[in-house]
Amino acid sequence: MFKIYLVYETDCWHSKESKVLIGAGLNSHEAINICNDNNIKQYDKPITEKQKYDLFENLQTKLDDNDVNYIIDEHPVNTLIN
């Protein structure tokens, strides 16, 4: 089954109200790159290795230096097969 990975920037509590969709990837590596690119644009620094690990293992980050976290939501996409 085909999956899409929606990437959200959120506050340190991961509150639903703070979630802002920042991109979509076709796999977890693309989604993590979206987080990294966003962090560079917004905060002039890449995400840390710990954040990359947390995203890969848990699909979310924990608060480090910024008041921002990332969540990756994995969604199956229904496709029609002929």
Which residue range forms the structural domain that includes residue 20? 2-77
For residue 35, being part of any structural domain is answered with yes
For residue 32, being part of any structural domain is answered with yes
Nearest residue to 56 (alpha-carbon basis) of 28, 34, 35, 36: 28
Residue 51 has pLDDT above 80, yes or no: yes
Tens of pLDDT along 54-68?
999 999 998 765 668
Q: Residue 66 has what pLDDT? A: 62
Number of domains present in the structure of the chain: 1
Tens of pLDDT along 12-33?
888 899 999 999 999 999 999 9
For residue 82, being part of any structural domain is answered with no
- Give the pTM: 0.86
For residue 7, being part of any structural domain is answered with yes
For residue 11, being part of any structural domain is answered with yes
For residue 34, being part of any structural domain is answered with yes
- Environment class of residue 47 by beta-carbon count within 10 Å: exposed (0-12), middle (13-18) or buried (19+)? buried
Residue 80 has pLDDT above 70, yes or no: no
